[in-house]
Amino acid sequence: MVWNFPGGGVKENETPEQGCVREVKEETGYDVQTTKLLHEENFKYTYVAEIMDEELFLDREKEYNKDILETAWVDLCNFDSFDSFTNPLLQLYLNEIELKNG
């Protein structure tokens, strides 16, 4: 099984940040606040976000979640567990953390 980050499209009249917050809520149940734009390319945005409250929950009754097999916390250092789109973004995030922590 491979993993990726929550994500999806930005709706009309929605900023990329608002789209991020909505997608994370829909796919994980978490209320989040974006803290940093990590990467942007071709109108695709990746944010670092802080969980504000709630607990991990996948609402399988929602049509937009039908293609999600599972939600879980996964060890970020197990790079083989992430898909080819997510892995480079994960590397960017881990590099940011390393630079920040010295």
Dump pLDDT digits (tens) for 30-67. 999 999 999 999 999 999 999 998 899 988 888 888 88
> Taking Cα atoms as reference points, which of 14, 23, 37 lies closest to residue 71?
23
> Taking Cα atoms as reference points, which of 42, 11, 44, 47 lies closest to residue 32?
47
Residue 86: how many CA atoms within 13 Å on its side-chain side?
15
Binned at pLDDT 50, 70 and 90, residue 100 comes out as confident
Extents of the domains making up the chain: 16-101
- Between CA 56 and CA 44 the distance in angstroms is 24
Predicted local confidence at residue 99, as pLDDT: 82
Predicted local confidence at residue 94, as pLDDT: 93
Take residue 97 and report the two structure tokens written for it. 């953390």
- Between CA 31 and CA 21 the distance in angstroms is 7
Dump pLDDT digits (tens) for 83-97. 998 999 999 999 988
Which class is domain 16-101? alpha beta
Query: Bigger pLDDT: 1 or 95?
Result: 95
